[in-house]
Amino acid sequence: MGGGSLSEYERIAHSKITRKFRSAGQQLLFSRGRRGEVSDANGVPYIDFVMGYGPVIIGHADAQFNEILCGYLGNGVMLPGYTTFHQEYLDRLLGERPGDRGAFFKTASEAVTAAFRLAAMRTGRLGIIRSGYVGWHDAQIADSLKWHEPLHSPLRNKLRYTDGMRGIGDTEPVANWVDLRLESLAELLERHRGRLGCFVFDAYLASFTTPDVLRQAVAMCREAGLLTVFDETKTGGRISALGYDHDNALGSDLIVIGKALANGAPLSILAGDADLLALAERARLSGTFSKEMIAVYAALATRDILEKPVGDAPDGWTEIGRIGTETAAAFTAAAADAGVEALVGARPVLGGGMFELVYHDVELLGDKERREALLAELAAVGILLLEGHPSFVCLAHRDIDWGDLRERARQAFEAWNATAGAGRG
């Protein structure tokens, strides 16, 4: 095809998301991760608050994690069917939910697709009410919003991914619950009455509302005959062992847990009542790699570490919440040091396992270019984080020198403010 050969970057087909990290205008290619840091191909280190978009929870190349994982590898990687390791893992994960079964997947998009199919089989209806980013498969992403934008952001409502998608249309409507008001939900339930089988909610959006509203939302959807799915892909195994729905007793029919279960290895679980999960056979909810074992070994190793006390904290999840809270405070303090606290700061999300930048200025909130320019300035001082998306911390971030982080962030905020000022002047 065409003339010359592809450069090292062009060989990989990216979505926009993996092109985000740049330094001096160049896309970064990473070569190594150690504890809470990563290095690029030139050996430049960065404090990593991306954490692979959430899966890394203990840290990169953690010695204890690697040792436990390697110990398991002598049993093989794939056997003819499920194994005692899968069984043990579900016993540990779902110990507090004795009536539940779990189905194994590699990605959360798969687990959410499985939940959609169970809902359709249970209710006989294909339509979905969706709130939040719930995966990249067609019915999950087609005609969706910028879900991670705050409710009042001018960027939130722009419809995206409108081309080339199936599994969406008049007979199988996919309706967005945009503003998280119960009146709007009631209106959607009424408008698509008789065609809706499933309600799915990204637990991260719980940080935009209250447990009480969500409890009512789940109850209203169940009342209307929908199967309810709480998607704990970002939160389960991160803000706590099982996530928001379980901790707040919301009572959704199914929960999806993904990302942080296995410190970076691909594992996602769909859990719910044994009767409902018994439909898995008729629904054909598995593929070749569903029974792959490296991710299960990694998940067992992750639990071995997180279940134990860390410092003064009773377990790793509590300590991670403390670390994320401290990280957000360091960025907020740095913004004040740089005199930009009226524009930007940071807040812990759902207890601190995640944190995010907050924009106090509406003009800045609507200015994606200027927001992304801040990420470039942070990368220039050796800090990688996310924008328009929560950022993530791991246990190894306990090592952070908080004074150094605050000072580096101050430099980035100052440099950003200076260039923005020059541009606008």
Ligand X SMILES: Cc1ncc(COP(=O)(O)O)c(C=O)c1O
Interacting residues toward ligand X by CB under 6 A: 53, 107-109, 112, 132-135, 202, 231, 233-234, 258, 268
- Which among 201, 296, 277, 213 has a CA at the least distance from the CA of 243? 201
CB of 314 to ligand X, least distance (A): 27
Q: Is 71 exposed, middle or buried (0-12, 13-18, 19+ CB in 10 A)?
A: exposed
Query: What distance in Å separates the CA atoms of residue 180 and residue 188, rounded to the nearest whole number?
Result: 12
What angle is formed at CA 185 by the lines to CA 184 and CA 186, rounded to 5 degrees? 90
User: Based on CB atoms, which residue is closest to ligand X, 107 or 332?
Assistant: 107
User: Based on CB atoms, which residue is closest to ligand X, 113 or 332?
Assistant: 113
Looking only at the bridges linking them, the beta strands covering 174-176 and 196-202 are unpaired
CB within 8 Å of 179: residues ≥ 6 apart: 151
User: Based on CB atoms, which residue is closest to ligand X, 258 or 321?
Assistant: 258
CB of 134 to ligand X, least distance (A): 5
- Which among 20, 23, 19 has a CA at the least distance from the CA of 379? 23
Cβ–Cβ under 8 Å, residues 29 and 40: yes
Query: What distance in Å separates the CA atoms of residue 235 and residue 246, rounded to the nearest whole number?
Result: 11
User: Based on CB atoms, which residue is closest to ligand X, 142 or 405?
Assistant: 142
CB of 416 to ligand X, least distance (A): 27
CB of 133 to ligand X, least distance (A): 5
User: Based on CB atoms, which residue is closest to ligand X, 205 or 300?
Assistant: 205
- Which among 333, 276, 312, 302 has a CA at the least distance from the CA of 398? 312
CB of 302 to ligand X, least distance (A): 16
CB of 232 to ligand X, least distance (A): 7
User: Based on CB atoms, which residue is closest to ligand X, 242 or 415?
Assistant: 242
